[in-house]
Amino acid sequence: MKKFDVKDIRNFAFISHGGTGKTTLAEAILFTAGASTRLGRVDQGTTVCDFDDDEKKRKISIGAKLINFEWKGKGVFAVVTPGYADFFGDVTSALHAVDGAVVLVCGVGGIEVGTQKAWKEADKHNLPRVIFINKLDKDNAGYFKVVDSLRQSFGNRCVPITLPVGQEKSFSGVAHLLTGTGIDALTGEVKEKVQECRTMLEEVAAESDDALTEKYLNEGKLSPEEIMRGLRKGVCAGTVIPIFCGSAEKNIGTTELMDGVCELMPSPIDKGAIAGLEEGKTRSPEKAAPFSAFVFKNVIDPYTGNLIYFRVYSGTLHPNSDVLNATTGVKEKIGAIATLCGKDQRHIDEASAGDIVVVAKLKGTSYNQTLCDPAHPIDYRKIVYPKPSVSYAVNPKAKGDEEKIATGLHRITDEDPTLVAHRNPETHELVISGMGDLHVEIVLDRLKKRYGVDIDTSIPKVAYKETIKMKAEGHEKYKKQSGGRGQYGEVFLKIEPLERGKGFEFVDEVVGGAIPRNFIPAVEKGIVGAMEEGVLAGNRVIDVRAILYDGSFHDVDSSEMSFKIAGSKAFKDACGKAKMVLLEPIMNVDIYIPSHYMGDITGSLNSKRGRIMGMEETGDLKKITAQVPIAEMFKFSNELRSITGGRGSFEMDFSHYEEVPAMIAQKVIEAAKKDHELAAKE
């Protein structure tokens, strides 16, 4: 592709609720721009963007894709994001790296949970936006119904700029309020609203600029050029959000959308200098400035290696040059640089401010890192990824594949920031956590395809803990004198509950050499060992102070071993009198649902021993904040999907440990006993 001035670069992301038509829209735009020779279809697996086998099979986008093309003298770099909630991580990364967003909204379904979520994410970056109301070719589409709800949810800064022609009978094109094309063809309700919509446009344009405000107040009107100027200023400042419309599938309204994006959305220069993490450090979005870029994504291909996606913030990068990874401090050698359009890589001679490009074969660079000129280091703000919400314990179907699973998972987490794999030290299980069941299913598919491991999944064990509720005393006189060398150690100790989270404290109050100094650490070791083993149901004991205050020894028979055993037994003896309880992990859960599912969800939370902590409402969407024991949350993902028909989503995060209610604790303890007996038999 030819090189453009930075002022002629537009980079943005397509975002929306799942299935609104982002991939199809990208297809239509690429075709219209002459960057592809045919209009592929998602349902036939023939699009530029959804080229991955997993995507073709499921007919949804799974990863963010880049497209790159020229549009009427502008160089465009767009990130086509997935809409399915499980892949929201890629929306987060894309919005971190771009200068604007095109938000698609369905002409039938209107604002959905995914729209709200993506919108909020764009808000975090104050990203300029335009809206595209898609699927207006569908029978039950309603343009103004959607416009009204957009204005209601996102404010009167959302104003129509194109209107549908023939929507009542047969949708055939769009009319443009500023250029006037197609206005004569409008009929019915849409025709009646032309004047009202023009006034809205004029008003938001006038409000964006002082000189225009004055002119509008004095003369009562603005010229189309003036409106355009005001709109551009408003869009860049986030005070105006123009609404375009059309049908991606029929390639209607897409030219007007792209013209609008190129005219109204900011270039990197409009966005201005970019702040580094270090106070006062910035870079100008100019070709001549020192090179800096942010890596927002990487994809590991088992054959071609690691492909690094980055957005250049400043300067110019040439092939075969040295850069510094300012986040890790590692020096990297850049080989070839390429633009990416779907899976099609084109080598380029230089990448400069505003461009979104890829490089391969960097040894130590991955997502969320900064690359820069080694002589002018700068590091940029990091992406905050969404947290995983579903977890499974994983085991290989074939014995001996543990190593392969670990390697495979390690590689996958190297490219997927929303997948967490760890061995739970409490339950000894290998647990993977992802954004949803589909996310986990795809990870398991990849492990099988790429690394040849078949995996069984199960609901993870809960990492219960144990603690005491009151002070108690413990005693053990450990004595063995049958044959060989004897053993002797006597221990008196007290235990007391500590505040939650304080762990373990050992206090030595032995006086007068009742236990010789050199055996005291052995007593502590014994106590620590007993705490790790657990007393009630085999879970780690926490938040206890143990005070060793007396004991006795034998000149010959006492040893470290005998005091260790005595310590352990005395501790267990004390625990038996200290009202032991089970503790369970409590999660902070944020649930997003359309308001009318409120009753069902609060009902579900009540049945899960959940505590509702707060509620927020934006438009038709409710956010419920709750605290729920993790033991109750393993199947919540499925339940939420079936209650809301896939329109709800949630995130969760560990909060704290809390006492398990007695009835439930009893069951857990009995189950642990049974497990223990079974294990002993084996």
Ligand X SMILES: Nc1nc2c(ncn2[C@@H]2O[C@H](COP(=O)(O)OP(=O)(O)OP(=O)(O)O)[C@@H](O)[C@H]2O)c(=O)[nH]1
Residues at the interface with Mg ion (CB under 5 A): 22-23, 61
With CB atoms as reference, the residue minimizing the distance to ligand X is 83
Q: Identify the CA nearest to 63 among candidates 48, 43, 80.
A: 80
Give the nearest distance from C-beta 443 to ligand X in angstroms.
18
Q: Which stretch binds ligand X (CB under 6 A): 3-11, 22-30, 142-150, 613-621?
A: 22-30
Quick one: what does residue 96 bind among ligand X, Mg ion, none, with the CB cut-off 5 to 8 Å set by partner type? none
Of 134, 129, 226, residue with least CA distance to 174: 134
Question: What tokens does 306 get?
Answer: 């690691």
The total number of residues written for the chain in this structure: 682
Please pick, from the candidates 137, 332, 466, 543, the single residue that binds ligand X as defined by CB under 6 A: 137
Residues 106-135 touching ligand X, rule: CB under 6 A, are 134-135
Which partner from the list ligand X, Mg ion, none does 433 bind, CB cut-off 5 to 8 Å by kind? none
The footprint of ligand X on residues 138-157 (CB under 6 A) is 138
Task: Using the minimum distance from each CB to ligand X, give the nearer residue, 61 or 487.
Answer: 61
Q: How far is the CB of 93 from Mg ion (least distance, A)?
A: 16
Asked if 42 touches ligand X (CB under 6 A), the answer is yes
Query: How many CA atoms, within 13 angstroms, populate the side-chain half-sphere of residue 415?
Result: 18
Q: Which of 16, 254, 292, 467 binds ligand X (CB under 6 A)?
A: 16
555 in contact with ligand X (CB under 6 A): no
- Distance in angstroms (rounded) separating the CA atoms of residues 367 and 352: 19
CA angle 244, 249, 252 (to 5 degrees): 40
Shortest approach of ligand X to residue 544 CB, angstroms? Answer: 51
DSSP code at position 67: E
- 439 interface partner picked from Mg ion, ligand X, none, CB below 5 to 8 A per type: none
Amino acid at 544: V
Residue found under tokens 């443009």: 176
Tokens found for residue 644 = 């809301």
- Return the residue matching tokens 């913030």: 313
Shortest distance (Å) from residue 61 CB to Mg ion: 3
Task: Please identify, using beta-carbon distances, which residue of 20 and 68 lies nearer to ligand X.
Answer: 20
Looking at the DSSP bridge assignments, the partners of residue 580 are 468
- Counting residues that bind ligand X (by CB under 6 A) gives 22
Q: How far apart are CA 544 and CA 583, in angstroms?
A: 13
List the one residue out of 350, 352, 348 whose CA is nearest residue 340. Answer: 348
Q: What is the C-alpha separation between 29 and 251, in angstroms, rounded?
A: 8
Q: Which is nearer to Mg ion, 17 or 176 (CB)?
A: 17
Contact indicator for 367, 383 with CB cutoff of 8 Å: yes
Nearer to Mg ion, 12 or 636 (CB): 12
Contact 153, 146 (CB under 8 A): no
Distance of CA 116 to the CA centre of its chain: 15
Cα–Cα distance for residue pair 194/190, rounded to 1 Å: 7
Smallest distance from the beta carbon of 141 to Mg ion, in angstroms?
19
CA angle (25, 27, 31) in 5-degree steps: 120
- Selection from Mg ion, ligand X, none that 249 binds (CB < 5 to 8 A by kind) is ligand X
Residue 248 binds which entry of Mg ion, ligand X, none, CB below 5-8 Å type-dependent: ligand X
**Which residue from 13, 60, 78, 362 is in contact with ligand X, where contact means CB under 6 A?**
60
Which partner in Mg ion, ligand X, none is near 129 (CB below 5 to 8 A by kind)?
A: none
Please report how close the Cβ of residue 673 comes to Mg ion at its closest, in angstroms.
51
Asked if residue 345 binds ligand X (CB under 6 A), the reply is no
Compute the least distance from the CB of residue 647 to ligand X, in Å.
14
Shortest distance (Å) from residue 394 CB to ligand X: 26
- Stretch in the footprint of ligand X (CB under 6 A) among 17-25, 116-124, 226-234, 446-454: 17-25
268: Cα separation from own chain's centroid: 26
8 Å CB contact between 368 and 416: no
Task: Return the residue of 11, 12, 20, 242 that touches ligand X, per CB under 6 A.
Answer: 20
Nearer to ligand X, 59 or 387 (CB): 59
Residue among 273, 275, 299 nearest 285 (CA): 273
20 binds, among ligand X, Mg ion, none (CB under 5 to 8 A by kind): ligand X
Computed on alpha carbons and rounded to an integer, the radius of gyration of the chain in Å comes to 32
Instruction: Rank residues 14 and 310 by Cβ distance to ligand X and give the closer one.
Output: 14
Q: How far is the CB of 18 from Mg ion (least distance, A)?
A: 8
For residue 17, the minimal CB distance to ligand X (Å) is 7
CB of 139 to ligand X, least distance (A): 9
Rounded (5°) CA angle 630-631-633? 60
Judged by beta carbon distances under 5 to 8 A according to partner kind, the member of Mg ion, ligand X, none in contact with residue 110 is: none
Residue tagged 């397509």 (tokens): 14
CB of 112 to ligand X, least distance (A): 11
Nearer to Mg ion among residue 22 and residue 157 (C-beta): 22
Is there binding between residue 21 and ligand X (CB under 6 A)? Answer: yes
Which of 11, 36, 61, 306 is the binder for ligand X (CB under 6 A)? 61
Closest CB 47 distance from Mg ion, rounded Å: 8
Residue 354 CB, nearest approach to ligand X (Å): 25
Comparing C-alpha atoms, which of 306, 284, 308 is closest to residue 359?
A: 308
Indicate which single residue of 8, 10, 11, 19 sits in contact with ligand X (rule: CB under 6 A). 19
22-32 vs 254-264: helix axis angle to the nearest 10? 90
- Per-residue mark of binding to ligand X, 226-255 (x: CB under 6 A): ---------------------xxx------
Structure tokens at 482: 């049958």
How many Å apart are CA 332 and CA 360, to the nearest integer?
Answer: 11
Sign of the C-alpha dihedral computed for residues 88, 89, 93 and 94 taken in this order: negative
For the segment 74-93, give every residue that binds ligand X (CB under 6 A): 82-84
What is the Cβ-side half-sphere exposure of residue 582, based on CA atoms within 13 angstroms? 24
**Local structure of 548: helix, strand or coil:** strand
The answer to whether the beta carbons of residues 9 and 74 sit under 8 Å apart is yes
Return the one option of ligand X, Mg ion, none that residue 86 interacts with (CB less than 5 to 8 A, by type): none
- Alpha carbons 377 and 371: distance in angstroms, whole number: 9
Residues that bind ligand X (CB under 6 A): 16, 18-24, 42-43, 60-61, 82-84, 134-135, 137-138, 247-249
